[in-house]
Amino acid sequence: MPKRLYGSSNNKVNSPQWLQNGSHESVVLDCEYEFAEKDNYFVVKWFLDNDPEPIYQWIPEFGSRHFTYRLQGRVNLEYSIFQSNELTRYRAINIINPTTDLSGTYTCNVLSRSGEDLWKKKMTVYAPPKEFTFTLTYESKDNIRLLCETKGVFPDHERKLYKITSTEKLQDLEVDKVYIYSQDPYNGYNVTVVKSLKANKLSRREPTIFECILTLSGTKFTKERRLFHYPGLFFSGGQQLL
């Protein structure tokens, strides 16, 4: 364990927990710390996830600031914390137009003559789905196929299927297959889940409601699509909700 810095009980990392892609002109990641007067030589380093190379490094004594390629052209170089204080002036990062590829766990590492310490904070830049469709297809009189598709969504997300009637409890449907066509922070996740059901297992007295609910990890974002199956009806095609 690294030696704790003087006054480190008040130290912390400040950043938004989550924000929508394209919704903010800029965001500030700030590393708050306190030092004794003798700690006039130190280094502040910022890391993203498990990358061993710091995305930002500041050495106040030499006036040295360095950003890696991931932040080149994406940082407000004029931004400062307490302009008059040479020991805190450039501790923070002001990211311009944060995008999904900058999601992750940020670590602020401070090294001084008194010791070393670090603090972590996760920030998620999420992208809602560009497309979110839920389709019910009657493959035959007895077979129903549910297809829930999401495109261009980030980060990884959970897709849950449910069956609902007025007389039954909400039932979680276990999907048969999951197809992942894309999974990167630039193009997002393109995922399709499939569930097949027997029509004769459904209620014959009232409509059955099917739901596909999408939630994004690390955020409060949720979205749903709903379809209805009416007993006694059969269509050669299917119904789709966009």
Residues 13 and 87 in one domain: yes
For the chain, the domain total comes to 2
3 falls within a domain: no
Of the candidates 93, 126, 159, which is a domain's last residue? 126
Note whether 230 and 220 are within 8 A (CB): no
**Integer Cα distance of 100 and 122 in angstroms:** 13
Q: Which domain holds residue 75?
A: 8-126
Residues 138 and 108 in one domain: no
Note whether 49 and 115 are within 8 A (CB): no
72 falls within a domain: yes
Going by C-alpha positions, the residue among 94, 89, 119, 90 that lies closest to residue 106 is 119
Note whether 46 and 54 are within 8 A (CB): yes
pTM comes to 0.81
Which tens digits make up the pLDDT trace of 130-158? 999 999 999 887 899 999 999 999 998 88
Burial class (CB in 10 A: 0-12, 13-18, 19+), 241: middle
Taking all residues of the chain, what is their mean pLDDT, rounded to a whole number? 86
28: confidence class by pLDDT, cuts 50, 70, 90: very high
Structure tokens that stand for 97 in this block: 């137009």
Which tens digits make up the pLDDT trace of 91-143? 999 999 999 999 999 999 998 877 788 889 999 999 999 999 999 999 887 89
For the segment 210-216, the average pLDDT, to the nearest whole number, is 95
Of the candidates 85, 110, 126, which is a domain's last residue? 126
Residues 145 and 88 in one domain: no
Q: Residue 53 gets which letter from DSSP?
A: S
Residues 14 and 119 in one domain: yes
Give the pLDDT confidence score for residue 218 in this predicted structure.
Answer: 81
**Integer Cα distance of 99 and 223 in angstroms:** 21
Residues 224 and 172 in one domain: yes
Which tens digits make up the pLDDT trace of 67-91? 999 999 999 999 998 777 888 899 9
Within 36-168, where are the H helices? none
Which tens digits make up the pLDDT trace of 223-239? 999 999 988 765 444 55
Of the candidates 100, 126, 152, which is a domain's last residue? 126
